[in-house]
Amino acid sequence: MDEQKLRILLAGAGGVGVYFSSILAKNGAEVKVIARHDHETVSRDGYFIDDRGEAKHFTPAGVLRSAAEYDGVADFIVIAPKALPEIDLPRLVRDAVRDRRTALVLIQNGIDIEKGLAAAFPDNPLLSCVANIAVSRPAPGRLLNQGMIKLVVGGPAEPTARLVDYFKAGGIDCRGVDKIEPVRWHKLVWNIAFNPVSVLAGGVTTGELCDRGETENLCRSLMRETAAIAARRGVSIPDDEQAAAIESARNIPQFRTSMVQDFLAGRPLEVEAILGNTVRIARAAGVAVPVMECCYALLKSIDAQQRRRAEKK
Amino acid sequence: MDEQKLRILLAGAGGVGVYFSSILAKNGAEVKVIARHDHETVSRDGYFIDDRGEAKHFTPAGVLRSAAEYDGVADFIVIAPKALPEIDLPRLVRDAVRDRRTALVLIQNGIDIEKGLAAAFPDNPLLSCVANIAVSRPAPGRLLNQGMIKLVVGGPAEPTARLVDYFKAGGIDCRGVDKIEPVRWHKLVWNIAFNPVSVLAGGVTTGELCDRGETENLCRSLMRETAAIAARRGVSIPDDEQAAAIESARNIPQFRTSMVQDFLAGRPLEVEAILGNTVRIARAAGVAVPVMECCYALLKSIDAQQRRRAEKK
């Protein structure tokens, strides 16, 4: 669709980043990926993707070990690692940001997660994206997508429209917005309830969570508190939207949230991006969020335990 | 100290019950115990007790399999199993309650735990006790006591005084009170914070809990909410008592609460006696306890997961 081939670099090549990059590649973009953990496998075989039962294959145009190995100027650098405090996003991409035309495309969960990149690269367009996707990596070089996919891209008009067109042409339900923050709050209502509580309740499914009992009420409390904070930022999340989120979770009873999957696998949890940042926004705004504070304290401790155990191995 | 030998039956022979019964036996009482899990070991060898480094031995006057096997009339039936909904206290002792002179001595954690026994045996004196004791059972027939011991006995004057004298003569820091409820609230402030949070935070020590950070604040919130409920019942728990509880927990940094020990061993948790009953009292009194409700929902779910895993084994 472009006269010139779109040049993409993917940094933080987890399931989400690889899936979206594969769509761009399929649509004619030249996609190179920085892959460290599974560098060998991916260099040799590319990625095998089970996309809702359909077998797909994605061979990147290059498999790099770091941003420094990238040659030339990228149109877009897709940045999609897990949202963890120890992952320094500017450092991850710095060596490949060589021109102010290069747009940074951040695809991560959470709220208030753009600051680091915005401060490090003030002259580059920053496209902050909210993805609805349930993709996992069952093995190195392998992806499993089991659900519907939606992507909202927020950023300056020109690069946003260009990226959205590419995704749409690749069959993705994608739209562009001026400001991503409201979209993040709406997504956060889901994330903040089901992700932490599914872990704190002992690693349960969404069905066990939304059992019309105590844990479901707890999810509702977290949603109400989140909506109260969002309201202070001018974003309205009506009660029926919260109720619909509970319904939707109930309707996929066997679903394990990404945070439960990380918890059960002993991996670090996205505590700060989802809960910590939200609690800090609430504190700064003077909104009382006792339930959220409680879940934050517990999840932070669980994560610390988890990391300690992982170190011992 | 009595002309006639005091006759004691112990039902729910966990560490706490066996320890206190051994004190009565040492002091001349005839103590029989209902022991099911470790019946054989205890029948053969009695109990070996490591009491703060001092080796003691306790041979019960009889080791029974049920209350029905008890002969005659007991002066006191000590009832000290873990406080779990599936343990029916009246059923546990019914066959041995043959006379209204037999006093029932309940030694358990929690609040509002006397109702079942009071309703089942309205004519028998009920002595409800709050114990400060850190005793564990490292193996069948073996007890380990590592801390200071205190016992408060609440009930009608005569049998209470008699039992208190026996414990005092056995060297126990023991006192009698008319009404145990205030004592239970003061104890609950400690229990409700450190027991559930130490589990929910991932199975941590009191030192990790009282780290002057998020989990310590969470413990303080739970204490404040508990004090607010207690206030409605006419029991005042001042702020400095709450602060002292935090200090005392910080001063035994390696301590694992009884609930964490149960959690790490995969045993059922005393959720209802400690948290559930308190939440229900708060709801009935119209006291808002968002943090307690949150912890209750989570702990109930953790306990359910724990029980499910135990069944699978």
Say what the pLDDT of residue B3 is. Answer: 56
First to last CA, chain B: 49
Say what the pLDDT of residue A4 is. Answer: 78
One-letter-per-residue 3-state SS of chain B: CCCCCCEEEEECCCHHHHHHHHHHHHCCCEEEEECCCCHHHHHHHCEEEEECCEEEEECCCEEECCHHHCCCCCCEEEECCCCCCCCCHHHHHHHHCCCCCCEEEEECCCCCCCHHHHHHCCCCCEEEEEEECCEEEEECCEEEECCCCEEEEECCHHHHHHHHHHHHHCCCEEEEECCCHHHHHHHHHHHHHHHHHHHHCCCCCHHHHCCCCHHHHHHHHHHHHHHHHHHHCCCCCCHHHHHHHHHHHHCCCCCCCHHHHHHHCCCCCCHHHHHHHHHHHHHHHCCCCHHHHHHHHHHHHHHHHHHHHHHHC
Closest-CA residue of chain B to A213: B297
Contact B305 A201 (CB under 8 A): yes
Chain B contact for A228 (CB, 8 A cutoff): no
C-beta of residue B100 within 8 angstroms of C-beta of residue B123: yes
Chain A contact for B198 (CB, 8 A cutoff): no
Mean pLDDT of B289-298: 98
Q: pLDDT higher for A1 or B99?
A: B99
With contacts defined as CB-CB under 8 Å, which chain A residues touch B306? 202
Chain B contact for A264 (CB, 8 A cutoff): no
Chain B contact for A208 (CB, 8 A cutoff): yes
Mean pLDDT of A48-71: 97
Say what the pLDDT of residue B4 is. Answer: 78
Of B200, B213, B296, the CB nearest to A200: B200
| Rounded Cα–Cα distance for residues B224 and B208 (Å) | 20
Q: What percent of chain A has pLDDT over 90?
A: 90
| Rounded Cα–Cα distance for residues B39 and B19 (Å) | 17
Tokens 């709406």, residue?
Answer: A186
For an interface test with A, the pick among B199, B209, B214 (most A C-beta atoms closer than 10 Å) comes out as B214
With contacts defined as CB-CB under 8 Å, which chain A residues touch B202? 298, 301-302, 304-306
What is the tens place of the pLDDT at every residue in A156-214?
A: 999 999 999 999 999 999 999 999 999 999 999 999 999 999 999 999 999 999 988 99
With contacts defined as CB-CB under 8 Å, which chain B residues touch A305? 201-204
Of A217, A294, A305, the CB nearest to B218: A294
With contacts defined as CB-CB under 8 Å, which chain B residues touch A298? 197, 200-202, 215, 218, 298
Chain B contact for A310 (CB, 8 A cutoff): no
Mean pLDDT of B78-105: 97
Maximum distance among all Cα pairs of chain B, rounded to whole angstroms? 57
What is the tens place of the pLDDT at every residue in B231-248?
A: 999 999 999 999 999 998
Closest-CA residue of chain A to B302: A202
Residue B279, min C-alpha distance to chain A (Å): 12
Mean pLDDT of B297-305: 97
Residue A221 reports pLDDT greater than 80? yes
For an interface test with A, the pick among B197, B211, B293, B294 (most A C-beta atoms closer than 10 Å) comes out as B294
For an interface test with B, the pick among A214, A275, A289, A295 (most B C-beta atoms closer than 10 Å) comes out as A214
Mean pLDDT of B88-97: 98
Contact B297 A217 (CB under 8 A): yes
| Rounded Cα–Cα distance for residues B146 and A81 (Å) | 48
Over its C-alpha atoms, chain A yields an Rg (Å, rounded) of 19
Say what the pLDDT of residue A3 is. Answer: 56
Chain B contact for A293 (CB, 8 A cutoff): yes
Of A204, A295, A296, the CB nearest to B301: A204
C-beta of residue B293 within 8 angstroms of C-beta of residue A217: yes
**Residue A239 backbone dihedrals phi, psi, to 5 degrees:** -55, -40
Chain B contact for A199 (CB, 8 A cutoff): no
Chain B contact for A292 (CB, 8 A cutoff): no
Distances (CA, A) of B56 to A248, B53, B59, B142, B151: 60, 9, 10, 10, 20
Of B213, B294, B300, the CB nearest to A295: B294
Chain A contact for B236 (CB, 8 A cutoff): no
With contacts defined as CB-CB under 8 Å, which chain A residues touch B291? 290-291, 293-294
Mean pLDDT of B30-56: 95
Q: Which of A64-68, A226-230, B207-211, B218-222 shows the lowest mean pLDDT across its residues?
A: B207-211
Chain B contact for A268 (CB, 8 A cutoff): no
Residue B269 reports pLDDT greater than 80? yes
Structure-derived torsion over alpha carbons of residues B100, B105, B110, B114, reported in degrees to the nearest 10: 0
Residue B119: how many CB atoms within 10 A of its CB?
Answer: 9
Say what the pLDDT of residue A1 is. Answer: 43
Residue B238, min C-alpha distance to chain A (Å): 21
Residue A209, min C-alpha distance to chain B (Å): 9
Residue A283 reports pLDDT greater than 70? yes
One-letter-per-residue 3-state SS of chain A: CCCCCCEEEEECCCHHHHHHHHHHHHCCCEEEEECCCCHHHHHHHCEEEEECCEEEEECCCEEECCHHHCCCCCCEEEECCCCCCCCCHHHHHHHHCCCCCCEEEEECCCCCCCHHHHHHCCCCCEEEEEEECCEEEEECCEEEECCCCEEEEECCHHHHHHHHHHHHHCCCEEEEECCCHHHHHHHHHHHHHHHHHHHHCCCCCHHHHCCCCHHHHHHHHHHHHHHHHHHHCCCCCCHHHHHHHHHHHHCCCCCCCHHHHHHHCCCCCCHHHHHHHHHHHHHHHCCCCHHHHHHHHHHHHHHHHHHHHHHHC
Residue B11, min C-alpha distance to chain A (Å): 32
Average pLDDT, chain B: 95
